[in-house]
Chains A and B, each alone.
Chain A
């Protein structure tokens, strides 16, 4: 993918993030993801019905990489069942940590394929995945 297109996708998801709204609804599981080494702090709200991720929202303060990564992740996860979602998360994790991964599963999240080159920003891209994994693993048991 052309670097300029990648940049545009990231900036679009940062400046106009999708699903960024705080909700108070007990049918959603809430999880907080914060970055110990910086100031990113996001809350993620997940609604799972009959093994399907029905909806996800998020809110908080975070940098361009964390915010865009959350927006893109949510877009990719809504509609998946739990095992598909975990597979997607594993795959993203592998990409960021320079292991083998399947490009096809990542959709727009492929824009972070070079993030491993900036060691101080790897964790920003991974931040929402750490939080959501905690919620989804609860349902996979």
Chain B
């Protein structure tokens, strides 16, 4: 649905790599161009009209994000360059000052590198342990396994709400409840979930949440760090510089601005943030429930077809997202991706930045098909047709 809104869909391609990034509707591009063409000034000046308009539009996006995830306070929304930067700020700005030697950070082996490596470095620096919550036969996390994994040393649980290879959805609300009863913080990587479903951070009761604009029809280079106000107040700025300080003198006496500006040093990605606001409006107009339902139906349609092909191994038969990870029996995933590319079909091959996923699924590399609401059944038909003929793949993959 809504295909006519996307200039990229005029091209002769079938785009099935939405887990990596999504296409952008024309309204988002127009909104960004409008900034560059009609009121291209810096933010936080306000001494002249066009600069004032920048502030209004920039802050309007903050309000749109707040409403979109139902945050309690506007100050809880910090703009970053993306999920990666947000998670690094959480680890290095908050937990670096909170954790002590011997404390434990709980993650899983299905996490994206962005929710593994910041914790690895922190653990090494402080002398913390990294623990892994085991998954069940369908690669899901169960509450029982969370409870079993928690030790008296556990201080933080950091999880993707939906993972990027399996596409399993974690019971974040229940996990947060269990965690908070034990004084454990919950950090959520929302890169693969926020774009695809309705989110309510107050209902989930997460402590921190990170996500990216470009995976939800917005521009690249913009993301969000959400944190509960009381916690963000304690988050030490990773970047010091312009825009975030109130005053300083030559004696090294520095006063910082209040939230969220304190955490947004330097000139932000103004056009990106403004474009992101338009993307949120666009998604909201379609309706997040409608988006979830469309993706779910399309995934079922794809799975029903793939399951009938004997040379296709489906890694995540069960999944709550639009992600389907497969392998063609005996053919390296990248070769299949090259083959599909000859027919202008874009899929991702590899380990998808989840380099310890093999510990979860036993499979290091796969072909990932990730759907969004603008994909269609006829696109799926074309993909399945090409995958159904193994001889053709072997003949044409070089």
Contacting pair A61 B365 (CB below 8 A): yes
Question: Which residues of A69-109 have CB atoms within 8 Å of chain B's CB atoms?
Answer: none
Does B230 have its Cβ within 8 Å of any Cβ on chain A? no
Q: How far apart are the CA atoms of A64 and B332 in the complex, in Å?
A: 7
Contacting pair A63 B351 (CB below 8 A): no
Known A-B contacts A38-B334, A39-B334, A39-B365; the reply to A64 vs B397 at CB < 8 A is yes
The digit string for B2-40, where 1 denotes a CB below 8 A from any CB of A, is: 000000000000000000000000000000000000000
Which interface residue of A7, A15, A38, A39 has the most chain B CB atoms within 10 A? A39
Contacting pair A65 B398 (CB below 8 A): yes
Does A53 have its Cβ within 8 Å of any Cβ on chain B? no
Contacting pair A64 B335 (CB below 8 A): yes
In the assembled complex, which residues on chain B have CB atoms less than 8 Å from the CB atom of A40? 334
Contacting pair A39 B398 (CB below 8 A): no
In the assembled complex, which residues on chain B have CB atoms less than 8 Å from the CB atom of A132? none
Does B364 have its Cβ within 8 Å of any Cβ on chain A? yes
Contacting pair A11 B350 (CB below 8 A): no
Q: How far apart are the CA atoms of A140 and B5 in the complex, in Å?
A: 61
User: What number of A residues sit within 8 Å (CB to CB) of B?
Assistant: 14
In the assembled complex, how far is the CB of residue B309 from the closest CB belonging to chain A, in whole angstroms? 20
In the assembled complex, how far is the CB of residue A49 from the closest CB belonging to chain B, in whole angstroms? 33
Q: Specify the chain B residue showing the minimal Cβ separation from A39.
A: B350
Q: How far apart are the CA atoms of A39 and B350 in the complex, in Å?
A: 6
In the assembled complex, which residues on chain B have CB atoms less than 8 Å from the CB atom of A62? 332
Closest 3 CB pairs of A and B: A39-B350, A63-B334, A64-B335
Q: List 21 A-B contacts (CB under 8 A).
A: A11-B394, A11-B398, A15-B330, A38-B334, A38-B350, A39-B333, A39-B350, A39-B351, A39-B365, A40-B334, A61-B332, A61-B364, A63-B332, A63-B334, A63-B335, A64-B332, A64-B397, A64-B398, A65-B398, A67-B332, A121-B338
